[in-house]
Amino acid sequence: YIDFAEAGVSDNLNKTIDYESVYNRILTIALAKKSYLIETVSYRICELLFGEYPSLERLVIRVRKNNPPIGGVVDCVEVEIDTTREDFYASIERFNNHPHK
């Protein structure tokens, strides 16, 4: 979530987030390094977007894996992260300070 009032009034792409650029960056992350967990992919997306877009206040990220190999008939599994910038970085700090990583 960002305050996009200026973009809404001016109709200027430079005043908001370029969603094509976001899509391409997420695609690069998803393909750059093999991940076994969709949770890991979700984390990397949050890290990327909060890092590259300082105006972002909150993110809701959903990552879905179709036809997961879980031994049953399931269309998909999905992970959703709904976090603020502050909470996301606080969770990283808690993990880094946890004695049993």
5-97 folds as GTP Cyclohydrolase I, domain 2 (3.30.1130)
Residues 16-51 have pLDDT tens digits of 888 899 999 999 988 888 889 999 999 999 999 999
Would the pLDDT of 101 be above 60? no
Whole-model pTM above 0.85? Answer: no
**Distance (Å, rounded) from C-alpha 92 to C-alpha 75?**
31
Q: Single out the residue of 3, 52, 43, 1 nearest to residue 24, CA to CA.
A: 52
**Distance (Å, rounded) from C-alpha 52 to C-alpha 11?**
22
**Distance (Å, rounded) from C-alpha 27 to C-alpha 31?**
6
**Distance (Å, rounded) from C-alpha 76 to C-alpha 34?**
19
Alpha-helical regions (H) of 11-84: 19-32, 38-52
